[in-house]
Amino acid sequence: MSEYTIYHNPRCSKSRQTLALLEEHNIQPIVIEYLKNPPNEQELEKIGEKLGLESIHQIIREKESIYKELDLDDLMSDSELIPLMVEYPKLIERPIVIKGDRAVIGRPPENVLALIND
C-alpha cells in the first residue's frame, strides 16, 4: 500500500499534473476521486489538520458556482462549512496530497515536492 494519497479530480489539469509528478518520482499513490467518493466530516477535519489550516475555509473553492448558489461567505465557521463540503465536494480545493501526517495542495503541482523530498 502506498504511503501517499491524492484527492484527485481527473478533469482538473492541476490534479492530473500533480498525479503525473508523483508518478515521475516512482510514487503510485492511492487515488481518491473525491467527487465520486468525498471525504466524510472527520476525514475532512483530519485533512485540514494535516494541511495546517487555521480554518477549513482556506481550502474552499470560492469561484465554484455552488459557492455562490449556497450564498457562502468567509465568516462561516468550520462546523458550518465542513458538512457543506462533504455534501458538495466541488467546494474542496484540489488536488490534495497526503503523506503520513502532512499534506499539501498541488497548486502548483510542484508543491508536492515538499512531501517527496521530506
Residue 73 a catalytic site member: no
Which CATH number does the domain housing residue 51 bear? 3.40.30.10
Provide the 10 A C-beta neighbour count for residue 42: 10
Total domains, the chain: 1
pLDDT, tens digit only, all 118 positions of the chain? 679 999 999 999 999 999 999 999 999 999 999 999 999 999 999 999 999 999 999 999 999 999 999 998 877 899 999 999 999 999 999 999 999 999 999 999 999 999 998 7
Q: Which of 2, 5, 6, 12 is catalytic?
A: 12
* Residue range of the domain that includes 80: 4-116
- Judging by beta carbons within 10 Å of its beta carbon (0-12, 13-18, 19+), is residue 5 exposed, middle or buried? middle
